[in-house]
Structures are given as C-alpha cells and as structure tokens.
Structure 1
Amino acid sequence: MAAQKLYAGAKLRELRGRIGLTQKGFSEKLGVSLPYLNQMENNNRPVSTTVVLALAQEFGFDVTELQSGDEARLVGDMREALADPVFSGPTPPLADLRLAASNAPALARAFLDLHSAYRQTHERLASLDEALGREDSRLQPSPWEEVRDFFHYCDNYIDAVDRAAERFTLKAAENDDGNIEAAARKALAESGVRVVLKDDPSPSSDAIRYYDPASRTLTLSTKAAPTTQRFQLLLQVALIKQAKLLDATLDFAKFQSPQARSIAMVGLANYFAGAALMPYGAFLAAAQFTRHDLERLADQFGASLEQVAHRLSTLQRPGSKGIPFFFVRVDPAGTITKRHSATTLQFARFGGACPLWNVHGAFETPGRWLRQLAETPDGVRYFCLARDVSKPGGSWGTPTRRYAIGLGCEVKHAGALVYADHMMTDQAEAFEPIGISCRICERRACPHRSVPPLERQLRVDPNERGMLPYQVD
C-alpha cells in the first residue's frame, strides 16, 4: 500500500511565524527552494521527507504535530454545521471542505463561530428567552461551547499546566513520601486555608466542595468518594497556588465573555488536579506497563475510572506522546456531556452519539466492560471500550447520577490494550458500522437512522416499505 502523502501547509506557516523567519530564510534552513516551500505552504505539494528531517534537526520540531488531527476535526465540524437546514443550497463537496481546513483553518473556524452564533441566537428567539431585550445583544457563542472548542483544538493537552502539576507531584514525592493528598493539604495550609469535612459543605446546595474566601475554609462533602475528595483538594490547590499560571493561560485563549473565562478557569483547575494525581511521565509509563488496564491504573494512582480514562486521552505531550485515544461521557438520554478526541474520530457538536456505538449499552450492563470493533463511514477502524460510571448520591433519597464513559483508539494500537486480547482485529466482518450523527452519516441502510442524510437524494416508493420509509440514493 502506498504511503499517504502529508499536506501540512498551515502547520508550516504557523511554525515559520512562530520563529519569525521569512519564506526565504525558512527555505534556506530547510534546504529547499523558495518556490518549493511556497507550494508546500499552500498545500500544492506534500511535505517531503527531507523537510520533515530538517524540521526536527534545525528547529527541534515534533514532526508528529504535522498530523495533529486539526484538519479532520475542522472537516467533521464543518460537515455537521452545513447539515443545518439553514443551508438550503448544494452542500460543498468533501474535497472543498478538506481544502478549506488545510489551506485556511482560520477561515474555517470563523465559519464555525458564525454558525454557532446563529444557532445560539435562533435558540434564544425560539424559546422566547428575552434575548432581544438584553442590553448586550451582540452575537456570541455559548460560553460552554467556546471553552469546549478551546480544549478541543488544543488536543486537550495544556503543556504549561501539565508540567506545573507534574512538578507539584515530584515535590510531594520528595517531601511528603509521595502522599499527594498530604501534599495538597500542606500546600493549602501554607496559604492559610483550613480543610474540613461535612455532610453538606454548602449552605445553599448539595455541593461536594465549597470554599469560603472570607474565612479561607475549604469544606468537602463526606458523601463524596475518597478519590473525589482527593481530586477536589488538588483542584483547590490549583485555584489558589497556581492562579497566575491559570490566568496567563486564560489571557492567551482570549475568551469572548467573562462567563467563558470562568468556566475555563474551572476546566484548567480540573486539568491541574488530574495531571497532579496522575503525573505525565509516571502515568504514561504505568499505562504502557499495564497495557492500559484502567482498573490497575485507578488503584495505583488513587483515581476513579473516569479520571483515568480522561487522563489517557490527554497524553499528547510533544516528543513523548501516548496512544491517541478518544474519550467521551454520555448520560442515559445519549447526550454527550464530555468529549475529546486525539484520533480522527469526531463527535457530534450538537445532540447525541451514534446509537450503534457500544457506550449506550453500558447502562444495561453495570459494572462490566463492553468491547467493540467499529468502523466509521470514512473506513477508519477503531477499538472501543465502554462502561457505566454511576455516581451514588451518598444518602437515602439523593438521586444517583448515571453516566457511561467510552474510550478507544484506532485498531492499529489495539495490541497495546489488554482489553483487545482475543478480539478479531484482523477480520473485516468483526467490525460494526458506526457514524457521527445521522444528518451527516452516509450509510444507506442503517436500522437506527433517525433523520435522512442531507447530502443524499431520497426516493419514496408508496408500494414498498423497508427498515426506513424512504430509500437513500
């Protein structure tokens, strides 16, 4: 099979701008002619092996970043946006979307921002939420979506925060015998913060963590699991001891609203907590040694299964990357509440996940791992793992929060996962067809299709009724 050609014009332009070189100076460093560099930067030519080696040798560039997956994410997001009925004309060909994503990624993101702003405004008007009566009526994306996209396009890896968390844990290993919880309590005590445990931490809600800035008291719920309490301690350490770092990261992100910045602050604090609980180097080594056995990793690092699965999806440090995983959490209604993909697999930006995916079946088999070999419409094959992660309320009458998590990777990495043992990864018939969302899925005979694909013509024959009331051409 011929090797796939690598087009990475946007990445080359980004690197050249970062190091402050003209095209002429950059071409001389790479050992290619100026016209050849110009053609590569405009994706008229693929990146040659000579250039790949020069990038690594001259600039210490992690060449795996040339295939960071941004193009696939943008194409998937644009296809879903274009499936909106507001676009009544012909859908642009997939080749055009790929050209836009590779040659003009900033323009592609601007289009997605515009569609998101339209969608948000349309929903506000439809629900009569008095959007027209607000003082600030400028179109803005949802703060949640803005933060989600920030992490999405960072590959869910924030280097400065990740390394700061790792340094915190290494210091704990030296001074606190590796007891990360003791180190967290000590760090808070140094800042004058008192930690107490109560059944109901907050006077106004059923919070699991409540911090009172006036009295500098952190109250944790006794109903929370020990892994949750430990995580919340580290989160509070991030908010207090790493405030300058988090603020600098947020300044770089340039969020459009104070609400988005506040949400992202919590997201970064959560990131720090997970990275401190499972420091990059040690966690990556343990994951490889255990063949990514989530239960062994959870026991070794004192974390929950969900925390471990999420951490596995963040192992994208340049020069020391782990397996590219996707991670997702869904609720019983099928709504995606957390999502990240370091693979080419993309999730629907709006709505639920494909009903053929095994993550939905996890609710029916609590306490068990579900394994699945799946193939997406683009022909890429994956190994998928799913399990429920229900969270009891901690007392009688308190609702149980039910979720399921999904974790997976391209099948070429399946041999590094203990869960894939004895799976028929080399047999095409063992792979189940899954998609992203029905509106952009091209499968013609899916028994679980909810709406027709917008890129296909439909035929309706009143004399024939199959699985669906129409046929897809």
Structure 2
Amino acid sequence: MAAQKLYAGAKLREIRQRLGLTQKDFAAKLGVSLPYLNQMENNNRPVSTSVVLAMAQEFGVDVTELSTGDHERLVSDMREAMADPVLAEISPPLADLRLTASNAPTLARAFLHLHRAYRQTHERLASLDEALGREDARATPSPWDEVRDFFHYCDNYIDAVDRAAEHFATPVRNENNIRVRAVAALGNRGVRVRFADTDALRHYDPGEKQLTLSLRAAPETQTFQLLLQVALLEQDKLLEATLDLARFQSETSRAIAKIGLANYFAGAALMPYARILEAARVERHDLEVLAMRFGASIEQVAHRLSTLQRPGAKGVPFFFVRVDQAGTITKRHSATLLQFARYGGACPLWNVHRAFETPGQFLRQLAETPDGVRYVSLAHDVSKPGGRWGAPVRRYAIALGCEVAHADKLVYADGLDIGNPRAFEPIGISCRICEREDCHQRSVPPLERKLTIDPNARGTLPYEVG
C-alpha cells in the first residue's frame, strides 16, 4: 500500500510562526525554495520527507506534530454537525470537509462554534420558560461542552500542569509516599486534614483551613482528592494563568475548567509522567499492575495513559472513553484517528456497552471503523459504590484502545487473531455519519445516502441504503 501523503500546511505555518521566522528564512533553513514552501503551507503540495527531516535536525521539532494535530478531530466534528437535520440539504462531501480542516482550521472552528450556538438556542426554545425570553437565555455554548472541547483540542495534555505535578511528585528526603507528601504540603499551609463518615468526597473550609475527606471513599479516591486540593492551593497561579490563555466565554466555564485542571494535576502527581511512561512500557500497559503500583484505580490509570502526549516523549496514542448505562459519553479523548460523537451515544457494536453485562472482567475487541483503520479495544465496567446501605451505585464502563500497529505493546492483545481481517468487528461513530450500508444495529439512516423504500420487502432495516 502506498504511503499516505502528508498535507499539513496549517501546522507547518503554525510551527514557522512559533519559531518567529519569515517564509524566506524558513525556506532557506529547510533547504527548499520560497515558492515550494508557500505551496506546502497552502496544502497545494504535501510536506516532503526531506522537509520533515530538516525540521527535526535544524529546529528539534517533534515531527509527530505534523500528523497529530486537530485535522481529524475537526473533520469528525464537522461531519457530525453536518448530520444535523437542519443541514440535511447541504451535506458537503467528505473531501470538502478535509480541505477545510487542512486549509482553514480557524474557519472550521468558527463553524462548529456557530453550530453549538444554534443547538443551544434550539434546546432552550424547546422549553417554554426559555422561549419567553428569560434574561439568561443566550446563545452561548454549554459550559460543560466548552471545557470538554478545551481538553479535546489540547490532546488532553497540559504541559505546564503536567510538569508541575511531576515536580511535586519528585521524592524529597526519601519520602516516596505521595499521600503522606500531600498531607504534609497541606499542613505547611496550615490546612488540617480530617476523615469523616460523610457523603461528600471532599469538603474544604477556607475559614477554618480544614479539609474533610469521606471515610467511605476508596483509598485511591482519597489520595486523588488530597492531590486535587494541593493543586487548588499550591498551584493556583499556574491554573489561573492556564485559564487566562484558554479565554473561556463564561465564568461557569472557567470554574469547571479549573476543577478539570486540578483533576489533571492530581492524576499527573499520582502517576508522574516519566515513571508511568516507563512502567507502562515495561508492564505492557497492564492496567491492574499499574493500578497496584501507583495506588490508583483502573479508570485513573486508563485516563492517565490517554494523556501521555508530551512532545518528544509520547506514549502509545490511545483513545479513552467512559459511558453510562444509557450509552451517553461522559468522558472522551482520542489521540488516534478514532473520534467520538459529540452528541448522543457511542456505536452500539462497540464492546464498551457489553462491559455492563460482565462486571469485573476485561473485554477485548478487534474493531474496524468505516475508514478502514483497525483497533484493539479494551472495555471494563466501573462501579462507584455509595459507601453505605441504600446509597445509589453509579455505574459506568470505560474503554481504552489503540491502533493495531501498537498491539505488541499491549498485554491484552496477546492471543488475538490480529492477522485475520475477519476477526475485526465493524464499528462506527454515529449512525447519522456512519457509511456502512448493511449494519444490523443502525438506528437512523446515514445522512449523505439516498434511501430506497420497498413496501413489498423488509430486511433487517425498513429501507435500503443506496
């Protein structure tokens, strides 16, 4: 199979501007002509191998930046937005969406922002009290979605926060217990830590300088909450500076994002970058072994593995997702070509949904998306008990996976028939944008296809996809 040409004009231009070079100077250092560089930056020519090597040698650029940018995410997000019934008569071809994502990513983001505003307004008008003009009924993105998009387009890796957490986790005076160090760090700020039989996982009283943690929570959850409080108190300036750069549209979004960054710090301190990267390599990403080694939960480890995208020291590019029993995605991130539906649930053929049926077990799946990319996917149920009789149990399932090219790095891929094309189950992203014609689990027709309705025949579906 011929190698895929690399069109990364927007990313190439971004790197040049980051280096503070004109096109003329950049072309000279790369050993190409000015017109040739101009054509590459405008995606009229692919980025050549010689240019990629020159960037690595001359500037020390992590060349994976050229191929792991926002392109696939933007294409996936635009396809899903175009699947909105209000745009049913437009439906630009996939090639046009790819060109937009490559040549005009800012325009693509503006379109997505406009579509989010439309959806927000549409949903509010569906409720009578909103339709009557309440003062707060403005067409702004959902704060939750805005924050989720922030992490999504940062590759779920926040360098400054990650490095600060890694520094905090560096042993001092041979003290390796991160929980002890977190309590000590809070103590140095005059904060007293106590445990109580309470429903709240964590409660901090700034007046009394007292942090209360729930005795009902699992030890790894208690440690995580300790580290989260350390982030909010010790790293407040760093978190605020990061939020300033993000330019959120509302104070609510900013507040949610700050908790998200504190959560990020806690996970990165519990599993410092270099240590978790090496341990994952040695243990071949065995989640149970890693959870025991770092005193973390299965979900915490899986989420952390999906964040190992530090330039120059990247881990296996994983996708990570968490769904509830209704199939709604509550957490999502992908460093792979696979992207998740922004609205609605995940593909019902994906093994993450079957994890609820087999509590305590790891489910393995070889899966292939409509674009022909093949993955190894691991699913596991995650139950969060209330800690007392009668308290509700929150149930989720998580999935972690990567492309089959990295299968040798996963202990879970051992024994799977990776060389057999028939071993891969066909999955998709969202029915409205899925191109499969013969899917027996399809809930709605694909938007871009013509349907044939025959009243005298009925197959698995009440229509045929043309």
- TM-score tier, shorter chain, comes to over 0.9
Note the 1:126-137 alignment, pairs <5 A: 126-130=126-130, 133-137=133-137
Tell me the distance in 2 between the aligned counterparts of 1:440 and 1:382: 19
Paired position in structure 2 for 1:163: 163
Q: Could you tell me how far apart the structure 2 residues matched to 1:326 and 1:348 are?
A: 13
Amino acid aligned to 1:25: D
Q: Secondary structure at the match of 2:114?
A: helix
Alpha-carbon deviations, 1:412-462, whole Å to 9, x = none? 111110011010001000000000000000111111111111110001101
Instruction: Tell me, yes or no, if the aligned pair for 1:117 and 1:141 is still in contact at 8 Å.
Output: yes
Unaligned runs of 5+ in 1: 201-205
CA distance in structure 1 between the aligned counterparts of 2:397 and 2:357, rounded to whole angstroms: 10
Mapped contact 1:387–1:404 kept (Cα < 8 A): yes
- Equivalent residue number for residue 420 of structure 2: 427
Which residue of 1 is the match for residue 73 of structure 2? 73
Residue 133 of structure 1: how far off its partner (Å):
3.0
Residue 88 of structure 1, CA deviation = 3.4
Q: Which residue of 2 aligns with 1:250?
A: 243
* Separation (CA, whole Å) in 1 of partners of 2:88 and 2:289: 52
How has the CA–CA distance of structure 1 residues 54 and 129 changed in structure 2, closer, same or farther, with 3 Å as cutoff?
farther
Cross-structure match for 2:336: 343
Query: What corresponds to 1:189 in structure 2?
Result: 187
1:324-344 alpha-carbon deviations (Å, 9 max, x no partner): 000000001100000000000
> When the two structures are superposed, what TM-score results if normalisation uses the length of structure 1?
0.97
CA distance in 1, matches of 2:347, 2:263: 28
Q: 1:129, CA displacement in angstroms?
A: 4.3
* Structure 2 Cα separation of the partners of residues 340 and 66 of structure 1: 19
- Name the counterpart of 1:199: 197
**CA offsets per residue over residues 339-358 of structure 1, 9 Å max, x none?**
00000000000000000000
Q: Secondary structure at the match of 1:439?
A: helix
CA contact (8 A) 2:451 2:465 kept: yes
Whether the aligned pair in 1 keeps the contact of 2:88 and 2:447 (CA below 8 Å) is: no
Residue matched to 1:47:
47
Q: Which residue of 1 aligns with 2:301?
A: 308
Equivalent-residue separation in structure 2 for 1:420 and 1:235 (angstroms): 34
SS of the residue aligned with 1:175?
coil
In the other structure, the counterpart of 1:203 is: none
Q: 1:148-297 counterparts in 2 under 5 A?
A: 148-170=148-170, 173-175=171-173, 177-200=175-198, 206-297=199-290
Separation (CA, whole Å) in 2 of partners of 1:182 and 1:235: 14
Alpha-carbon distance between aligned partners in 2 of 1:375 and 1:324, rounded to the nearest angstrom: 17
1:113 is matched with: 113
Given that 1:375 and 1:381 are in contact with CA atoms closer than 8 Å, whether structure 2 keeps it comes out as: yes
**Is the 1:166–1:280 Cα contact (8 Å) retained in structure 2?**
yes
Q: 1:61 corresponds to which letter in structure 2?
A: V
C-alpha separation between the residues in 2 aligned to 1:106 and 1:132? 34
Instruction: State the distance in 1 between where 2:436 and 2:154 align.
Output: 31
CA deviation after TM superposition for structure 1 residue 58, in Å: 2.0
Q: CA deviation at 1:230?
A: 0.2
Cα displacement (A) at 1:285? 0.3
Identity within the alignment, %: 74
Gaps of 5+ in 2: none
- TM superposition shift of 1:132: 5.2
Is residue 362–residue 388 contact of structure 1 (8 Å, CA) maintained in 2?
A: yes
Runs of 4+ in 1 over 6 A off after TM superposition: none
Measure the CA separation in 2 of the matches of 1:69 and 1:433: 26
Answer whether contact 1:223 1:394 (CA < 8 A) is retained. yes
1:469 aligns with 2:462: yes
Instruction: Give the number of aligned pairs.
Output: 466
- In 1, the alpha carbon distance for the partners of 2:311 and 2:196 equals 42
- Once the two structures are superposed, residues 31-55 of structure 1 have per-residue CA deviations (whole angstroms, 9 ceiling, x without a partner) of 1111000000001111112211221
- Give the Cα–Cα distance (whole angstroms) in 2 for the partners of residues 129 and 66 of structure 1: 48
Task: Report SS of the residue matched to 1:405.
Answer: strand
Q: 1:39 to 1:452 in 2, by over 3 A?
A: same
- The answer to whether the Cα contact below 8 Å between 2:200 and 2:214 also exists between their aligned partners in 1 is yes
CA RMSD after TM alignment = 1.0
CA distance in 2, matches of 1:466, 1:407: 34
Q: Could you say which residue in structure 2 is the equivalent of 1:460?
A: 453
TM-score, normalising length: structure 2:
0.99
Instruction: Give the aligned partner of residue 292 of structure 2.
Output: 299
